[in-house]
């Protein structure tokens, strides 16, 4: 199965959003807003609110072969690899911020662990890491490796 970069991004973000919307309210009582790469985030986040930032990072795109069984003979098949990165920002004003941040990342991780999207994006090696705190937020980071084929 093959996907375009736009299809792959849309499916990855949709898989995440479905899991996020279903699982986050059990942790923070409301669904924290998610800001996606390329979409303006608030200049000054509210210091007492959880929020997340999701981005797709392309690591490699290499030609794998000439595509077969396609409409246009001679099309090329590319193998695309990269990382999804989710940063969960947790207000330090909440005494349980570290635990909630970890639990929110686990909700997101479960959207990808051992799964494949409808257009064939394969996910592996999802991991959650705490990161350094700022003056206002602690941060937990989920990284997930992805791979898919694209025919052009």
Rounded Cα gap, residues 147 and 79, in angstroms? 7
Q: Each residue of 25-76: pLDDT tens digit? A: 999 989 999 998 877 766 677 889 999 999 999 998 887 776 566 666 677 7
User: What is the reported pLDDT for 151?
Assistant: 78
User: What is the reported pLDDT for 71?
Assistant: 63
Mean pLDDT of 88-104: 94
Strands in 34-36's sheet, in edge-to-edge order, are 34-36, 51-66, 76-91, 137-151, 122-131
Give 4's Cβ-side CA count (13 Å radius): 4
Q: Where are the alpha helices (DSSP H) in the chain?
A: 5-23, 25-28, 97-109
């Amino acid at each position: 199965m093959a996907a375009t970069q736009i299809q792959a991004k849309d499916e990855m973000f949709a898989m995440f959003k479905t899991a996020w919307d279903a699982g986050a309210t059990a942790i923070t009582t409301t669904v924290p807003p998610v800001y996606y790469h390329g979409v303006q985030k608030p200049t000054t986040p509210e210091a007492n609110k959880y929020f997340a930032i999701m981005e797709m990072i392309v690591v490699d795109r290499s030609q794998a072969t000439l595509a077969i069984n396609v409409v246009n003979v001679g099309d090329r098949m590319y193998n695309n690899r990269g990382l999804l990165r989710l940063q969960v920002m947790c207000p330090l004003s909440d005494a349980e911020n570290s635990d909630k941040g970890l639990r929110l990342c686990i909700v997101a991780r479960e959207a990808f662990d051992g799964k494949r999207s409808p257009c064939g994006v394969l996910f592996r090696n999802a991991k959650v890491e705490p990161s350094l705190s700022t003056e206002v937020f602690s941060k937990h980071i989920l990284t997930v490796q992805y791979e898919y084929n694209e025919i052009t």
